[in-house]
Amino acid sequence: MAAENNSARQPAPTSSEVARRQATRAPEPSAFVVPESREPVQRNAASRPAMRASRLSSTDTLALWKDVTVASVAGDMPDLSARQMAVLLCVYLEVGPHTVRSLAAKLNVTKAVISRAIDRLKSYGYVVRADDPRDRRSIVLRRTPDGINFLRKFGDIILDELPESMRR
């Protein structure tokens, strides 16, 4: 893979810059604000919007991932592990119901691993456990307003870090 020239990239924003951007951004309708009785839209590679202007190289995508990670860690958001973020995104963006068993199968890990991730997400208030009305022996995960707000802020950080040519 050829090295890319990233000298034009801006330095990572400080936490105060991230906070200022978030405070001045006009609220947008969110795909996360879904009444509990309705499920979010199922998304897959074919349904994602096409990238605009140009495609990112693998070096550019890694730089974007780094910039987003640095901005989220530098801000006031909890520092979720990749596994915790994967569980949270599955619960919020995929059609449920979401059980420990279904998430463990999807992420190819044990139920104990998923339970630890859920415990951490629950401690932040991002998910709650609830009885499954269809099977009283099973527990399902439910979304919360705090989880919606966390993902909305995280999505804003991603948008802030995207190259201008790729923004809507």
Does residue 157 register a pLDDT over 60? Answer: yes
| pLDDT at residue 123, rounded to an integer | 95
Print the domain residue range for 97.
56-166
- Buried b vs exposed e over 28-39: b needs ≥16 C-beta within 10 Å? eeeebeeeeeee
Neighbour count for residue 102 (Cβ, 10 Å): 17
Q: Let me know: does 55 contact 91? Beta carbons within 8 Å.
A: no
- Do the domain assignments include residue 121? yes
| pLDDT at residue 154, rounded to an integer | 92
The model's pTM is 0.65
Does residue 25 register a pLDDT over 70? Answer: no
With 0-12 / 13-18 / 19 or more C-beta atoms within 10 angstroms meaning exposed / middle / buried, residue 165 is: exposed
List, for residues 127-140, the tens digit of each pLDDT value.
999 988 888 888 89
Phi, psi of 71 (to 5 degrees): -65, -40
Stated as kind and residue range, the H or E segment containing 151 is helix 145-161
| pLDDT at residue 57, rounded to an integer | 82
Across the range 148-155, mean pLDDT stands at 93
List, for residues 41-88, the tens digit of each pLDDT value.
444 444 444 444 457 788 888 888 899 999 988 888 898 999 999 999
| Alpha carbon distances (Å) from 58 to 36, 62, 137 | 37, 6, 45
When divided into structural domains, the chain yields a total of: 1
- Do the domain assignments include residue 138? yes
Structure tokens at 124: 């932040």
CATH of the domain at 60: 1.10.10.10
| Percentage, residues of the chain above pLDDT 70 | 67
